[in-house]
Structure 1
Amino acid sequence: MDRPPGVSVRLKLTLSYTGFLMLAGVLLLAAVWLFLLRYIPERALIIPGSTDTLTPGVFPVRSSLLHVFAPRAAAVLVILLVFGLVGGWILAGRMLAPLTRITGATRTATNGSLSHRIRLPGRKDEFRELADAFDTMLARLEAHVAEQRRFAANASHELRTPLAISKALLEVARTDPDRDTGELVERLHTVNTRAIDLTEALLLLSRAEQRSFTREHLDLSLVVEEATETLLPLAEKHGVTVEIRGDLTPTFGSQALLLQLTMNLVHNAIVHNLPERGTVWVSADVRPGAAVLTVENTGEQLSPELVPTLTEPFRRGTERLRTDHAGVGLGLAIADTITQAHDGTLTLAPRPAGGIRITVELPTAAP
C-alpha cells in the first residue's frame, strides 16, 4: 500500500520524551517559585551589618529574587530541552532496534526468502513475542510452500503419465492403420478414466482445503454403513471381509465430504491388504467431545517412520499397484484434508500384526 511520508516513530517518541521532561521541569520550577512566594516576604527591612548594605531601609525582596531566578530557570529549561532531545533520540533508537530487525526480516520474506529467521535475543517482552510469532509463521509458511511445490510437481508427473500414454497409443494407431483398434480404444479408455479420476481427486482436495461446503448435523454411523455397502463388491473381489460396528454417533460437517472421507479410508484398507483372507474393521464411536471413526485392516508390516508420511499426496506405503482399483495416490491426503477442514484430527499407527490403524476424531457440535 502506498502511503504518504510521515513522521517516524522514533521522532514521535523523542518528542514525547522531551515534552514529558519539559513538563516535569516546568512543574518543578513552578513548585519552587510558589514555595518562594509563600515563605519569602514581598519587602524586607535591611539592618546595617546584617548584609553588605550599610544603608538601612526596606528593599523589595521578591522582585529582586525574580530577576535572579527567572534567567536561571530559563537556562535549566534549555538544558532539559537539549537533554531530552538527545537522550530521547538515543533511548527511542535502542527501544525500536528490535522493530527494525523485524521490519528487515519482513522485507526479506516479501522478496521470497522464507528461510530467514529473526531469532531476537534477550528475555521475553512484547517485541520478542512478536519476533517469535513471526519466526513461527515463517517456518509454517516455508513448510506449506515446500509442500505445495512438491504437490504441484507430483500432480504434474501423475497427469503427464496418462497423457504420454494416450499420445503413444494415438501415434501407434496413426502409423499402423491395420492394427486392431479395439485394444487401443480399450487402453485409451482406461488411461482416460485414470486421468479423470486424478483430476476429480485434485478438485475435491482443493474444495476441502478452501472449506467451501455446508455443514449440518449428521450421524457418522450411517455414513459408515453407506460407505461400506458401496465398497462391498470391491471387498468381495479382493477376498476381504469387512466388519462394521457402531451406534448413534452425532457429529457436525458435510455429508458428502465425510462420506468421501470414509470411502477413501475403507477403499485404502481393502486395496492395501493381504492377498487373500484379509479383514477390514470399521467402527464409529462417541468419546467425550468427539465422534471417532476407526478403520483398521490387515496387511504388510509398515515401519513407524513411514506411516506418518502416508497422508502426503502421491505417497504409497508399498510399491505402486497396477490394478483397476489402485487409486491415484490421493486417498489419504484427501481424507486428512477433509478431517482438518472439519476441525478434526487424523492419526495413523501401524498394527503390530501388520496393516494400519487410522483414527479420525471429529467434533460433535458446531465450533
Structure 2
Amino acid sequence: MAARTRADGGRAPGTSVRLKLTLSYAGFLMLAGALLLGAVWVFLLRYVPDRALLLDADGTTPTGVFPVRSNLLRVFAPRAAVVTGFLLVFGLLGGWLLAGRMLAPLTVLTRATRRAADGSLSHRIRLPGRNDEFRELADAFDTMLARLEAHVAEQRRFAANASHELRTPLAVSKALLEVARTDPDRDTGEVIDRLHAVNTRAIELTEALLLLGRANQGTFAREAVDLSLLVEEAAETLLPLAERRGVTVETTGDVTPVNGSQALLLQLTTNLLHNAIVHNLPVGGTVRIDTRARGPKPGTTVLTVENTGGRLTAEQVPRLTEPFQRGTERLHADDAGVGLGLAIVRTITEAHDGTLTLEPRARGGLRVTVALPTADAN
C-alpha cells in the first residue's frame, strides 16, 4: 500500500502563529512597561535630591539628614518588579486571546481549504463582518471555489459525453460486423459503406478532441494572420454545404490582422461558419460574416457571425459552448458535426487571449462575436 503524502510537505512542526503573536504582544507590552518605568526612574533621579534635611517641629532648625534616593530605590524596585510581572502575565493572557480572535477567520479559511482538498467544492465560507484583508481573502476563495466547481462539473459532463459519443460508433460497427457474420447473404457493399461512414465519424470526433486538447495547452507558434482571408477560405470551402442546404452566405468587412496560429484560427472560422449553416432555417436561411479591424475596445479585432434559425432562450445560449451541446436537441445528421464546434471556438479564442460572446437574435438564430487582440497591439 502506497504511503500517503503528508499535508505539510514533510516539514518539521514549528511554533504556531498564535503563540508567536502572543509572545510578540507580550514582548511589546513588556518593552513599553520597561520604558515607562525607566522614564519614571530617570525622572526621580533627576528631580529628586539625594538627601533631604530633617527639621524640628518648628521647621527652622535642622535635626539630621534623610537619604531620599536610597529610600526611593528600596521602595520603587519591588513595586516595579510586581508591575513588570503583572504586565508579563497580562500580556501573555491578553495576547493569547487577541491572537485567537484575530486568527479566527484564518482558521475558517483553513477548514474550508481542507474540505476543498478532500473534494468538497460546494462549500462556501461567506465570512461575515466588514470588509478587511481576511474578508477579501475569503471572498476570493469563494469565487475560486465557484469557478473550480463549475469547471469540474463541465469536465465531468465532457468526459461522460465523450465516452458516449466514442462508444456509439464502436457499438454500431460491432453491430454491423455481427450482422455481416450471421447473415452471409447480406450485401457486403452496403455493410462496408455504413462501416466507412461510422469510422469516418469516429475519426472526425477523435481529431476534434485532439484539436481541443491542443488548443487548451496553448502550445502553438504565433504569426501575423489576416482573419478576413481565413473567412474567405472557410466560406469557399463550405459553399457546397451551404448550397445543398439552401443557405446564403454573405461576407463583408475589413482587413483584420491578428497574431496567432493560422491553422487554429482557420479552424475557429470554419467551425463558426459550419455551425451557422447547419443550425439554420430549412429553407431560405442566411449567414452573415463580418470582420472589423476596430472593435468596441481599442486594440481589438472583431469577427461576427450571424445566422437565421430557430429561436434560442437566454438559458440555452451559454451552454452552446460546452462540448457535445447542439442547441435544443442532439442531432446526428450527416452535416451536424460531432458537437465540439463552439467548444473548440471558445477554447481557441481563449488561447489567443480573446473573448467569445453569444447572443440570441430576436427573430431567431444566433449572433457570435469573437474579439481578438490586433497584431500591432501585441
TM range, smaller chain: over 0.9
Shift of 1:322: 4.2
Q: Distance in 2 between matches of 1:313 and 1:284?
A: 26
Confirm or deny: 8 A CA contact 2:309 2:366 kept in the other structure: yes
| Alignment partner of 1:128 is 2:118 | no
Does residue 34 of structure 1 match 2:4? no
Distance of 2:159 and 2:237 partners within structure 1: 31
Aligned positions of 1:187-202 closer than 5 A: 187-202=194-209
1:319: Cα distance to partner?
A: 3.7
Structure 1's 318 and 113: CA in aligned 2 closer, same or farther, altered over 3 A?
closer
| Contact 2:53/2:62 (<8 A) preserved | no
Partner amino acid, structure 1, of 2:164:
H
Residue of structure 1 in register with 2:3 after alignment: none
Q: Deviations over 1:28-84 (max 9, x none)?
A: 011001101111111222123389xx9922232211211111111111100100000
Q: Take 1:86 and 1:349, find their aligned partners in 2: how far apart are those partners?
A: 61
Q: Secondary structure at the match of 1:252?
A: strand
* Conservation of the 8 A alpha-carbon contact between 2:121 and 2:146: yes
Relative to 1, partners in 2 of residues 1:129 and 1:72: Cα closer, same or farther, differing over 3 Å?
same
Cα distance change, pair 304–70 in 1 and its aligned pair in 2 (3 A): closer
TM-score (norm: length of structure 2): 0.92
Separation of aligned partners in 1, 2:122 and 2:257: 43
TM-score by length of 1: 0.95
Alignment length (residue pairs): 365
User: Are 1:5 and 2:13 counterparts?
Assistant: yes
Matches within 5 A, 1:1-367: 1-49=9-57, 56-287=63-294, 288-365=298-375
Cα displacement string for residues 258-310 of structure 1 (whole angstroms, at most 9, x for unaligned residues): 11000001011111222233222111112232111111122233333322321
Query: Which whole-Å deviations, capped at 9, do the CAs of 1:110-169 have from their partners, x for residues lacking one?
Result: 111111111111001111111111111111111111111111111111111101001111
Q: Which secondary structure does the structure 2 equivalent of 1:79 belong to?
A: helix
Give percent identity, aligned residues only: 76
Q: Name which of structure 1's ranges 309-318 and 135-144 shifts more when overlaid on structure 2.
A: 309-318
Cα distance, 1:157–1:125 mapped onto 2, change above 3 Å: same
SS of residue paired to 1:7 = coil
After superposing the two structures, state which structure 1 stretch, 245-254 or 146-155, moved more: 245-254
Q: Which runs of 5+ in 2 are unaligned?
A: 1-8
> Residue 304 of structure 2 contacts residue 367 of structure 2 at CA under 8 Å; is this kept in 1?
yes
Instruction: Please tell me whether the aligned partners of residues 112 and 124 of structure 2 are also in contact (alpha carbons under 8 angstroms).
Output: yes
Deviation, 1:233, is 2.1
Q: Judge which range, 231-240 or 5-14, deviates more.
A: 231-240
Asked whether the equivalents of residues 26 and 95 of structure 2 are also in contact (C-alpha less than 8 Å), the reply is: yes
In structure 1, stretches of 5+ residues that fail to align are none
The CA distance in 2 between the partners of 1:304 and 1:134, in whole Å, is 29
Does the CA-based 8 Å contact 2:280-2:307 persist in structure 1? yes
Distance of 1:50 and 1:248 partners within structure 2: 113
Is the partner of 2:293 in helix, strand or coil?
Answer: strand
SS at match of 2:252: strand
**Residues 176-216 of structure 1 deviation map (CA, whole Å, 9 limit, x = unaligned):** 22322111111111101111111111111122122122222
Computed over aligned residues only, the root mean square deviation of the Cα atoms, in angstroms, reads 1.8
